[in-house]
Structure 1
Amino acid sequence: MTHLRILDSITDRGDPRRPNEDASGGAANCAFVIDGATGLGENIIDEAESDAAWLAKFAAVTFEEDALAGCAVAKSVRKINERVSRIIGDLAGSMPVDPWNLPCAGFQMIRVEKDGIVSHGLGDCRLFLQDALGATHALSAIEGGAAAENEEAKRAVAHAGGLTKFRSLSTEPEIRAELRRRRALYNTDGGPVWTLGANPEAASHIVSQPLPATLPARGLLCTDGFAALVDLYGRYDAASLIERARTDGLVPLLAELRAIEQREDPDGQAYPRFKVSDDATAVLFEIVGDRAVSGRR
């Protein structure tokens, strides 16, 4: 019998003036992180701190409940997005909602299934996994997504002259307009990304990958704000990040992350990005049981 155990978790808002739009959770057979995309307009859901925070929390509860019930991940995603679509429609009534203003969120999950260990995801969250023989996996539902965003951020920082004035470049008018244009393409045929949100068809676009592993295996699930330690700041690779988390816990890693952003490079010149600090969430887990899991589905 193969089991997944969560060893540590951490989450931290990137801006003390805004809600944390990340979420995480798990059950005996899975762990996951969710990264809500910061809105580019007014909230649709009035009682929420933000639409993205509301979506992340709602999806986390649904994932946990469905994992315990043995529900397939695609079925959970379709259920989440159908419910969100109905809620948005009820609230908006006859008023049209701009596509760029629909709430959306990425997620990454690792799950122990009957035939092995499988990763599932939408968007740019990250999974780092190392098995007992040292074989390492570094996965995202958007392969190369971090590098592409880094290039976009480099252009945006150059245009805005740095992060000092704006803290989040999404408030700069021209950059905001471009972000809205790109966000409007989410969850559309031929668009750049499918997400948790208001389109149930996203369930057909989940990126799933079997993961052969010799157990015990350890790993980290991270939103892109935490994975920046690997993908943007280059302080670790997948194996060394997992080892540091295993030996020292996640608190020192978060402190290191924030020191880079807030003391070393608050203006975004050394490490171009859209915000001084993004929300950052990580889950450290261990998978134990049979010596080897094929990963075949």
Structure 2
Amino acid sequence: MAAAVAAMAAATAAVPAAAVGALPRPMNPTTTISRSDTSVLHTIEQLSAPGKPGRPNEDGCGAAGAYAWIIDGATGLADAPLLDAPSDAAWLTAAIHLAFTEHADAPTPDALLARANRAVAARFAAERIRAPEHRYEIPAAAFLLVRDNGDHIEIAELGDCATIVADATGCARYGGTEEGRAREQTNAASIMHGSFERTPAVLANLRASRNQANAPGGFPIFAPGTWDGKGARIHRHPLAPTADALLMTDGYFAAVVDYALFDPPGLMAAAQDGLAGPLAQIRATETADADNTRFPRFKQSDDATALLVRFDGVQA
């Protein structure tokens, strides 16, 4: 598993190989992932970039069966690693990716999530090098997945990933709420004080928040051994003859909710011209705010990942 995690962290994106635990192979543009009686799911383009050179990329994306997905591993807060991997978050992202791949025959997103959660929890228990002493040490990840259901697109999301679906009728956006990001910005502004240093006070703040993950009265998130596989928000989007879906981690969707570089239709249009263009604007905005005053945040740049897929109707 450690080799697969390291390779996945270095790759820009991936789709699954057939063997369980095998290293995913790079995804080619316009790869056909699934075909039903009414529609075909293609991948168009994918991009994934670490927030800081030399650090593991803890995002991931992929597709298999009727599903495509995006995963955002949360930055680790433990003093010492739980797993033999580039980072605990990178390990979790790769483990979720492989579990989604292995169980892509699941009939519904809820079924896929339940199976993947059991598989990742078992792998975590088997592969960890020590037991966690605190809840904040357990790796956690946000995700969003889409499923081609023939006459509609099923979307399941947990955390702060987002998707934009565009067809002839317009654009619809799911996930990635401004309210959550506004709370995070307010929190960062109150404690970061124009710096990106992880001081003891900043670390204590982040750990207190992470301790709410899957705790009574807290928030649900994919975290092995503590998540029950439930609580994902489910959306259904009517499937037009042709529709594009742009799946994004929050580092890429920051172009909308953090930096107001685009509205959702504008970001989709820019992404359809190439995923690198919006990312370049995101990084330029972050570089210009090197003193962390205009856009308060906990790190200068986050990992950013986007996956563009197309649902094509089958002609009768």
Q: Same fold (TM over 0.5)?
A: yes
Correspondence 1:102-251 to 2 at 5 A? 102-114=138-150, 116-134=152-170, 136-140=171-175, 144-158=179-193, 161-163=194-196, 166=197, 171-201=198-228, 203-247=229-273, 249-251=274-276
Contact (CA 8 Å) 1:77, 1:200: kept in 2 or not? no
2:54 to 17, 27, 34: 17
Of Structure 1 and Structure 2, the greater helix share is in 1
Q: Give the distance between the partners of 1:200 and 1:193, measured in 2 at CA.
A: 7
- 3-state SS of the aligned residue for 1:179? helix
Identify unmatched segments of 5+ residues in structure 2. 1-37
Query: Residues 282, 93 of structure 1: CA spacing in aligned structure 2 closer, same or farther, 3 A cutoff?
Result: closer
- State the identity as a percent: 33
2:292 to 268, 279, 289: 268
Contact (CA 8 Å) 1:104, 1:198: kept in 2 or not? no
Comparing 190-199 with 80-89, greater Cα deviation is found at 80-89
Correspondence 1:3-152 to 2 at 5 A? 3-41=40-78, 42-45=80-83, 47-67=84-104, 69-90=105-126, 97-114=133-150, 116-134=152-170, 136-140=171-175, 144-152=179-187
Identify unmatched segments of 5+ residues in structure 1. 292-297
Query: Residues 30, 91 of structure 1: CA spacing in aligned structure 2 closer, same or farther, 3 A cutoff?
Result: closer
Contact (CA 8 Å) 2:178, 2:257: kept in 1 or not? no
Q: CA deviation at 1:28?
A: 5.0
1:259-290 deviations in Å (ceiling 9; x for gaps): 1112x111211111111000000011111106
Q: Give the distance between the partners of 1:96 and 1:285, measured in 2 at CA.
A: 37
Q: Give the distance between the partners of 2:239 and 2:70, measured in 1 at CA.
A: 21
Contact (CA 8 Å) 2:243, 2:310: kept in 1 or not? yes
Q: Give the distance between the partners of 1:222 and 1:153, measured in 2 at CA.
A: 22
Contact (CA 8 Å) 1:122, 1:196: kept in 2 or not? no
Q: CA deviation at 1:143?
A: 7.0
Say what the alpha-carbon RMSD is for the aligned residues. 2.2
Runs of 4+ in 1 over 4 A off after TM superposition: 90-96
TM-score, length basis structure 2:
0.81
Amino acid at match of 1:150: Q
Query: Which residue does 1:255 correspond to in 2?
Result: 280
Amino acid at match of 1:151: T
> Number of residue pairs matched?
277
- 3-state SS of the aligned residue for 1:85? helix
- Higher RCO, 1 or 2 (CA under 8 Å, sep at least 6)? 1
